[in-house]
Amino acid sequence: MGAVLRSVAHNRKALAGLVIVAVIVALAIAAPWLTEYDPTRRVGRPHQPPSWDHWLGTTRIGQDVFARLLYGARTSLAVGFGAGLLITAVGTILGIVAGYRGGRTDEVISFFTNMVLVVPNLPLLLVLAAFIGQASPWVIALILGATSWAWGARVTRAETLSVKQKDFVKSAEMLGEPSWRIMLYEIFPNVISIVGINFVGSVIFAVITEATLEFLGLGDPKTVSWGMMLFNAQNASALQVGAWWDILSPCFALIALGAGLSLLNFAVDEIANPRLRTGNTLSRWSLLMRRGEGRL
Amino acid sequence: MAFLFRRLGFYLAAFLAAATVNFFLPRLMPGNPVEIMFSSAGSDLSADNLEALKLTFGFVEGPLWQQYLAYLHSVFTGDLGRSIKYFPLPVTELLGRALVWTVGLMGTATLISFTLGTVLGIMAAWRRGSTFDVVFSVGAIMATSMPAMVLSLVALFVFGFELNWFPTGYAADPALDPAFSWPYVSSVVRHGILPVLTLSVVLTGGFLVTMRNNMINLLGEDYIVMARAKGLSDRRVMFWYAARNALLPTVSSLAIAIGTVLGGSLVTEVVFNYPGLGNTLYQAILARDYPVIQGQLLIMTLAMLTANFIVDVSYVLLDPRLRRA
């Protein structure tokens, strides 16, 4: 763990990503102190441009965009991390069990994994959400967890297959350790890098997909979230009437969160796969080359 | 050959799974499934029409397995029921009309982004650690982490409304009659540029990162070192030794990417008010037109499975090891 933290601290991309995500989390937590407005109340005249009273203007029904943005961050973050955790947990458990147990168990799990992978995800989610009706953020997180674990299960299984061959697993088996213990204490710590990549990727996916489902009109209208802000602004023809603040504010919020998370993802990827790590070693090499000290 | 048959059997099972979801969902929801499915119709539907619709979706007298068989029968005979919003238009016809536009949009965007992403990925891997690599690979990862509608909305605002370079909706000028004539075709192209470009930006990143990582893993291989030791030109080593082999996993990632392409295309169409599947679906969701919502899952699954099968076939052609097995 210490080694991972140290590499995060040394990786500029990881640091930048961490700072962006941390700032968004801090803003979401501090929402009540940063704005005096209630995000669901009508607090001004409709579609007012940004001003001193309303930093990011107002929506068509006169709600404060800045207040909605801050409180909406809570929903996006909660669904992102909640669903991300769920997706990763299901994928990791299925992947390790399939990879370690092998045989019939593996065949059954792999069959379902591959099946879920070839059924297009968004259309499936649309059908599920449409029947549920106005899906609250928690329901969206749950159905994301139930349908989006396949990729994680597949890569975790592949990794488990190679770890399974290692001597320390063999010796644990010889000692007669129960298989759940081997999976939890021998295999899991050694596939943790894959689990990390899976987790950050799933959080990004969950944030995007929650916003998409809400934008397509499947969310609960009472929810304050970035996806619902986009849906309401699009329905109010915000761009057509020139109320760009209404639609661009949630856009840039999603861009910032996506950028922060993806920088983190990139860094975790580099930490897990040293071959992809090119920054430090190569820059040192090219420095030597420039000085004429190195030789090809 | 046996490999391809095995795949076909698997695809049949996957399609059956999608149909099963469609069958059980309304029956699992609290309340009367018939009412849930057709409630948005109100009193517009005559008793005869309602009977026909109920039959299509397997709401027949009898135990569950008989209902299931009745539903599968209609699905496999290509009867997906009728749209409730646009009654009596059959779902297959409504979606079929829209599909043409979506396939055009998706096809062009996939072609552009696959080519661009692969070439940029090869170059980024070759010069890994350089400014070029950092800018493009970090940029690519960021582009893939943005919801498609965000990029579309920003593009629509900047290029459609502020700069006024491109039209802000529809697939062609509504004043023109659809015909294979210069004014109509050029209008289609002009309306398509913005959606295709934003979709391409969203998709390029994924291909770039896959290709870059494959390439980097391959560049450490002995045969690459050997090629360089022989004194072959950089370009030759890059494209004929490394890229050729790195391309194979990229092709299989293309199959999985089709799902992303579909999703991205759905929301892009809604933003640009483009008359494809996405927009049709958006209208159906707002009107809770369940036959259409269910129908799109089957059609999309079929499209995805077809794409996967094409990839399987090309895999057999590209990888000699599979041909012998």
Residue A52 or A250, more confident? A250
Residue A288 touches chain B, beta carbons under 8 Å: no
- Give the least confident one: A68-72, B25-29, B321-325: B321-325
Average pLDDT in the A111-120 region?
Answer: 87
Place of tokens 């602004």: A233
Please provide the size of chain A in residues: 296
Contacts of A119 in chain B (CB under 8 A): 14, 17-18, 301, 304
Task: Say whether B82 sits in a helix, a strand or coil.
Answer: strand
Please provide the size of chain B in residues: 325
Mean pLDDT of chain A: 83
The chain A residue lying nearest B297, using CA atoms, is: A123
pLDDT surpassing 70 at residue A8: no
Residue B27 touches chain A, beta carbons under 8 Å: no
Q: End-to-end CA distance of chain A, in Å? A: 36
Per the rule left: phi > 0, alpha: psi between -120 and 50, beta: everything else, B32 is beta
Residue B258 touches chain A, beta carbons under 8 Å: yes
Task: Say whether B259 sits in a helix, a strand or coil.
Answer: helix
The encoded tokens of residue B68 equal: 């299931």
The encoded tokens of residue A57 equal: 């203007």
Contacts of B281 in chain A (CB under 8 A): 126, 216
Rg (CA), chain B: 24
Residue B232 or A274, more confident? B232
Task: Say whether B203 sits in a helix, a strand or coil.
Answer: helix
Can you tell me the distance from the alpha carbon of A214 to that of A228, in angstroms, rounded to the nearest whole number?
5
Pair A21, A257: CB distance under 8 Å: yes
DSSP B72: H
Can you tell me the distance from the alpha carbon of B199 to that of B193, in angstroms, rounded to the nearest whole number?
10
- Give the distance from residue A161's alpha carbon to the nearest chain B alpha carbon, in angstroms: 19
Q: Could you tell me how far CA B151 lies from the centroid of its own chain?
A: 18
Number of DSSP helices (H) and strands (E) in chain A, helices first: 14, 0
**How does pLDDT run across A174-220, given as a tens digit for each residue?**
898 888 888 888 888 888 888 988 898 899 999 989 998 888 888 88
Can you tell me the distance from the alpha carbon of B224 to that of B217, in angstroms, rounded to the nearest whole number?
11
Neighbours of A209 (CB within 10 A): 25
Name the residue among B284, B282, B291, B159 with its Cα closest to residue A215. B282
Predicted local confidence at residue A284, as pLDDT: 46
- Give the distance from residue A174's alpha carbon to the nearest chain B alpha carbon, in angstroms: 35
Which residue in the set A130, A204, A255 is minimally distant from B288, CB to CB?
A: A130
**CB contact burial A232-253 (16+ within 10 A = b; e otherwise):** bbbebebbeeebbbbbbbbbeb
Residue A123 touches chain B, beta carbons under 8 Å: yes
Residue A122 touches chain B, beta carbons under 8 Å: yes
H-type alpha helices, chain B: 2-28, 33-38, 47-56, 64-76, 91-126, 131-144, 148-155, 182-219, 222-229, 234-236, 244-272, 277-286, 290-318, 320-324
Which residue in the set A239, A266, A283 is minimally distant from B161, CB to CB?
A: A239
* Exposed / middle / buried, residue B201 (Cβ in 10 Å: 0-12, 13-18, 19+): buried
Residue A248, H or E segment: helix A244-272
pLDDT surpassing 50 at residue B286: yes
Partner-chain contact A119 B217, CB within 8 Å = no
Residue A192 touches chain B, beta carbons under 8 Å: no
Q: End-to-end CA distance of chain B, in Å? A: 8
The rounded percent of chain B whose pLDDT value lies above 70 is 93
The encoded tokens of residue B231 equal: 């004194």
Rg (CA), chain A: 23
Residue A80, H or E segment: helix A65-101
Task: Say whether B244 sits in a helix, a strand or coil.
Answer: helix
Partner-chain contact A121 B259, CB within 8 Å = yes
Residue B240, H or E segment: none
- Give the least confident one: A107-111, B64-68, B173-177: B173-177
Residue B302 touches chain A, beta carbons under 8 Å: no
pLDDT surpassing 70 at residue A275: no
Can you tell me the distance from the alpha carbon of A46 to that of A56, in angstroms, rounded to the nearest whole number?
13
Can you tell me the distance from the alpha carbon of B167 to that of B194, in angstroms, rounded to the nearest whole number?
9
Residue A290 touches chain B, beta carbons under 8 Å: no
The rounded percent of chain A whose pLDDT value lies above 70 is 89
Task: Give the global pTM.
Answer: 0.85
Residue B80 or B110, more confident? B110
pLDDT surpassing 90 at residue A98: yes
Can you tell me the distance from the alpha carbon of A75 to that of A28, in angstroms, rounded to the nearest whole number?
9
Average pLDDT in the B236-256 region?
Answer: 81
- Give the least confident one: A16-30, A84-98, A272-286, B166-180: A272-286
DSSP B178: P
Q: Which amino acid is at A287?
A: L
Can you tell me the distance from the alpha carbon of B14 to that of A279, in angstroms, rounded to the nearest whole number?
43
Predicted local confidence at residue A294, as pLDDT: 42
pLDDT surpassing 70 at residue A283: no
The three state secondary structure string of A214-243 is: HHCCCECCCCCCHHHHHHHHHHCCCCCCCC
Name the residue among A51, A57, A53 with its Cα closest to residue A36. A53
- Give the distance from residue B221's alpha carbon to the nearest chain A alpha carbon, in angstroms: 12
Predicted local confidence at residue B205, as pLDDT: 85
The encoded tokens of residue B133 equal: 């690599």
Pair B59, B67: CB distance under 8 Å: yes
Neighbours of B62 (CB within 10 A): 10
Partner-chain contact B297 A126, CB within 8 Å = yes
Can you tell me the distance from the alpha carbon of B290 to that of B282, in angstroms, rounded to the nearest whole number?
12
Contacts of B228 in chain A (CB under 8 A): none
Can you tell me the distance from the alpha carbon of B196 to that of B190, in angstroms, rounded to the nearest whole number?
10
Residue A73, H or E segment: helix A65-101
Pair A126, B281: CB distance under 8 Å: yes
Question: B6 CB contacts (<8 Å, ≥6 apart)?
Answer: none
Predicted local confidence at residue A207, as pLDDT: 92
pLDDT surpassing 50 at residue A282: no
The encoded tokens of residue B219 equal: 């560049």
